[in-house]
Amino acid sequence: MASLQEPTLDNTVGAAFLGVVAASFLFGVTTLQAYWYYHSYPRDTLLHKYSVAILWGLDTFHLFLTIHAVYTYVVKGFGNTAGLVHILWSIQLQISVNVVMILMVHTLYALRVWRLGGYHHGFLGYIVALVVSGGFGIGIALAYEMYTVDTYPELERISWVINSSLAAVTVIDFVIAAAMCYYLRKSKGAASRLSSRISVVIQYTLGSGLLTSACSLSAMFTYILLPNTFIFLGVEFLLTKLYVVSFLAMLNARQRGRGESDNEESGGERHALKIGITSSFWTPPPSATEVIEDSIADQKTTTGTIPPWQSWDINIPRPTVR
């Protein structure tokens, strides 16, 4: 495979070293996000708590593997340029860990889309489940094929699965982000604070999807254009970290507003709780009637009066004010 650049010290071990440095920084962000999650949401579901713990543990193991690979190339193999063509066991294993983590994050996102769409009532849930299932197949093929090669020049033989996996990751990110934004926009209500909360989550969704897609595309293009270098490897070190950071940032986007205690949630927080932005992150959005009924109950409890917008033409019984 022709390369636009010949291998040098800078674009081989230098690129891998910079990738590990950047990955270490992102791991620190992941650790801070995980701590903030457990500190802010002690009553969250076991699914969330176990998922965050497993992802953080796998991310730690992934960082250890990348450090081992770069240390072996840079320190133990110092001056041995011939040794740079051999694929270390830690490189092969970190690819497998990478596949497991990305598939896990995609599955959690797919589960959220499925529930936001009302389970069997949203067709987008089936589309997301289909593309994620395709990603499972390609990811398993990549993890297997990596153990059939021993040198980097041999990667050309399995380039089809490398390019397919990176392209599939990009497509899955786009489909999930589009589906989540679609359902979140449908959940927007009349309350300005509620709409603001949903807008924040939409921005997180689009930002995380674009970020991970850009990283996977960068890894694919650098592998195609610069196959004789380690630039694509350095970019790949970052890909897993970005997935974990984006997922934890999505969970922590549910953080309550400043000045609100754990036991004193505003009406907007209660509405957000129903559409899956606060504690009930995976629940489907409520109907407009449910949101308005809840708002009337909140207004009556706090002020003892019926909100003026109850005169809307909706079939909601007028509560009796005592």
Residues 167-215: pLDDT tens digits?
A: 999 888 888 888 777 776 766 554 455 555 556 566 656 666 677 888 8
User: What's residue 292's pLDDT?
Assistant: 44
Residues of the chain with CATH 1.20.1070: 10-252
How far apart are alpha carbons 244 and 238 in whole angstroms? 10
User: What's residue 32's pLDDT?
Assistant: 94
How far apart are alpha carbons 195 and 186 in whole angstroms? 10
pLDDT digits 0-9 by tens, 2-14: 555 666 778 888 8
212: helix, strand or coil:
helix
Six-digit token pair at 92?
């092969």
Six-digit token pair at 146?
């990596």
* Helical packing angle, 46-71 and 89-116, nearest 10°: 160
Tokens 């984006």 found at:
246
Assess contact for 279 and 262: CB atoms under 8 A.
no
Please name the fold of domain 10-252. Answer: Rhopdopsin 7-helix transmembrane proteins (1.20.1070)
How many angstroms from the chain centroid is the CA of residue 201? 13
